[in-house]
Amino acid sequence: MKKIKLLLVDDQELIRESLNIVLAMEEDFNLIGMAGNGQEAVGICERQQPDVILMDINMPVMDGIDATKAIKQRWPHIQIIILTTFQEVEFVKTALSHGAEGYLLKAIHPKDLASSIRLVSRGETLINQSLAKQLLMNLPSERKDEPVGNKFGLSDRESQILQCIANGLNNREISEKLFLTEGTVKNYVSRIYAKLDVRDRVDAVNKFKSK
């Protein structure tokens, strides 16, 4: 069984060690290292290439947002879950805009955290439900991406991506067709699911076609 290589990044040693103890109990996880700030995390990525990173936001030297941006620019295949106590929507939007695959609160149950790591390692995007609702309620207006005549409030770009999904394209194919990064496509797909209140591509397409 191929183990998921994990990197834990948090400036609080107690949290790092607690996560290390809890996640080390999962047989399919391989904890390759811990970092106290984003700069250390970038260095570990350069040497060891983790599969998934649990990334805190508020850290000295380099915070989790800047670290996510730097890592995604150099190693877009590395999956990043932002793990924090903060619930501000701006942090969610910024992290996702830089390619983070997930956003969870530190209060999450250890078993749910382990399941979330596995989900993200398979290429899925994960956003805490309450935070997703806040995100959708606070999305800024965009001149070219305003919702166009559909009751679900999809932007032009989201409608375009949903049409690609309806045509049978996967995320990689959509990214190539629309000249977007695969991480950006995943974020759009997650927003589409939230707006349509569905869980998968089939339901999303069916609901959109029935509008």
* Per-residue model confidence as pLDDT tens for the chain (211 residues): 789 999 999 999 999 999 999 999 999 999 999 999 999 999 999 999 999 999 999 899 999 999 999 999 999 899 999 987 766 566 777 888 788 888 888 888 888 899 999 989 988 877 756 666 666 565 554 444 434 335 677 777 788 888 888 888 888 888 888 877 888 888 888 888 888 888 888 888 887 766 5
Give pLDDT, residue 40: 97
CATH says 4-135 is which class?
alpha beta
Please classify residue 108 by burial: count the beta carbons closer than 10 Å to its beta carbon, then call 0-12 exposed, 13-18 middle and 19+ buried: middle
Q: 94 phi and psi, to 5 degrees?
A: -65, -45
- Whole-structure pTM value: 0.65
Q: What is the pLDDT of residue 129?
A: 60
- Measured CA to CA, the distance from residue 101 to residue 183 in angstroms comes to 7
Is 82 in a helix, a strand, or coil?
Answer: strand
CATH number of 144-209: 1.10.10.10
* pLDDT of res. 132: 63
Domain locations in the chain as residue ranges:
4-135, 144-209
In this predicted structure, what is the pLDDT of residue 142? Answer: 43
Q: What pLDDT score does 146 carry?
A: 39
Q: What is the pLDDT of residue 143?
A: 40
Per the DSSP assignment, residues forming a β-bridge with 53 are 7, 80
